[in-house]
Amino acid sequence: VLPACLLLALLLLAPALSAEHERGLIINLEAGELCLQSVQCKSGCCHRANGLSLARCAPKAAEFQECSPKSIYGVYYKCPCERGLTCDADKSIVGSITNSNFGVCVDPQDSSRR
């Protein structure tokens, strides 16, 4: 009896779960929507202004903007760089732990500005 009930529950929940993903309640969140992890955001950046603020999806940092290197935490004080740019920052373990390793997005192909 239990497996049949479980199967029925899964069949009833499947359309609801797929509808959530389409509407962006859990993943594919737009800029400005509340998030818990960067993987939820279309941009790939779940950003918080300070330790007391709520995290929201934000666009990735453009060239010459402040950035954070990619992190395992999933929430950033400064978003990582857009594709093709690198974050020229202190990549020490202390900076990673204290979340203070901010830098500036630069184009690694542009050697004249370095």
For residue range 16-67, list pLDDT tens digits in order.
444 444 556 789 999 999 999 999 999 999 999 988 999 999 999 999 999 9
Per-residue pLDDT of 62-76, as tens digits, reads 999 999 888 777 899
3-state helix, strand, coil in the chain (%, to 5): 30, 20, 55
* pLDDT confidence tier of residue 97, bands split at 50, 70 and 90: low
pLDDT at 98: 63
CA distances to 25, 68, 75 from 61, in Å: 24, 9, 14
Is the pTM higher than 0.75? The answer reads no
How far apart, in whole angstroms, are the C-alpha atoms of residue 82 and residue 105?
8
Q: Where are the domains of the chain?
A: 23-112
How far apart, in whole angstroms, are the C-alpha atoms of residue 39 and residue 62?
19
User: What's 23-112's CATH class?
Assistant: mainly beta
Question: How many residues does the structure list for the chain?
Answer: 114
